[in-house]
Structure 1
């Protein structure tokens, strides 16, 4: 699995498909098939759909708007009108169809547009008053991942311990032992 799902929200994980927005800006959705793979790995759809170049461009537009939404919410600023318009346009599409199959298992089916609608709706949920106080950014200086801090004491600092948290703890350990 090449994608990380550490945000606690589908839209936050989607924004994370660009690593380090403010520095290297590493694109993880390079080809249409990458978007299809992400949609399946994220559990938006059961199987990777056929994705066109236009679908990929649309996904990138939505991702940029959700990034703008997250930045505004985290700063306690109003959401820019153009950001809200883009997110609302994608959310207005009928979302992924979730239903039970004959065996009672959930099945997720839909188009790329439906999947992006589900992502947009997840982004809108970030503006809920109950969620706003949970939104944080990773404390790593180069990481730009946002996450919902649902930890017990609301003191989570890292997007994930398997990357940023491990590096920070290892650096602190080395620093303490150099001084000894």
Structure 2
């Protein structure tokens, strides 16, 4: 499966591996190898880590805790203690190792290292100025959070491919249907 990476932050690209939350709830991590493939496509590690069913459940539990933490950050509400503890625990794990060889830098790590990167990025998001620019996509079915770095902070969609294109096409169709006066 090919995953979408448009958020410039690993946590904000991992959380939407369940898309259309509250509508279709499309789960993209249906098998352990899906998480391993996501980790490679995200560039966190270069070889798929070994993931079993229990590891996939662990990754999904962390994903849901991080989603609720991001949601609380955007909504300005208190984060649940259990979610904070789960993310803090994952963040304390070992990171992938970097190694410089003749052919470049290599990133290697197991599933726990991938989860540590994601959890640390979630914590760093809470500590960075990006937390003030977090927004939800304006598409009614999209549940992606994004960092609005646009001039004037008026960005509405998580990305122009997909949500933004659909909104522009719908607006065009509405204008074409409305008779000119």
- Are residue 38 (structure 1) and residue 38 (structure 2) matched? yes
**Cα distance in structure 2, aligned partners of 1:125 and 1:157:** 23
**Cα distance in structure 1, aligned partners of 2:100 and 2:136:** 36
Unpaired runs of at least 5, structure 1: none
Counterparts of 1:72-87 in structure 2, within 5 Å, are 72-87=72-87
- Range 32-41 or range 46-55, more displaced: 46-55
Aligned counterpart, 2:107: 108
Matched position secondary structure for 1:50: coil
Counterparts of 1:1-150 in structure 2, within 5 Å, are 2-103=2-103, 105-150=104-149
**Cα distance in structure 2, aligned partners of 1:101 and 1:155:** 44
Moved over 6 A (4+): none
CA drift at 1:117: 0.5
TM-score by length of 1: 0.95
Unpaired runs of at least 5, structure 2: none
When the two structures are aligned, how many residues end up with a matched partner? 179
Matched position secondary structure for 1:23: coil
**Cα distance in structure 2, aligned partners of 1:133 and 1:99:** 35
**Cα distance in structure 1, aligned partners of 2:169 and 2:58:** 39
1:91-134: CA deviation from partner (whole Å, max 9, x where unpaired): 1111111232234x221101011111101101111111412111
CA drift at 1:6: 1.5
**Cα distance in structure 2, aligned partners of 1:129 and 1:109:** 27
Matched position secondary structure for 1:108: strand
**Cα distance in structure 2, aligned partners of 1:134 and 1:176:** 31
CA RMSD in angstroms, aligned pairs only: 1.2
- Range 144-153 or range 55-64, more displaced: 144-153
CA drift at 1:48: 1.6
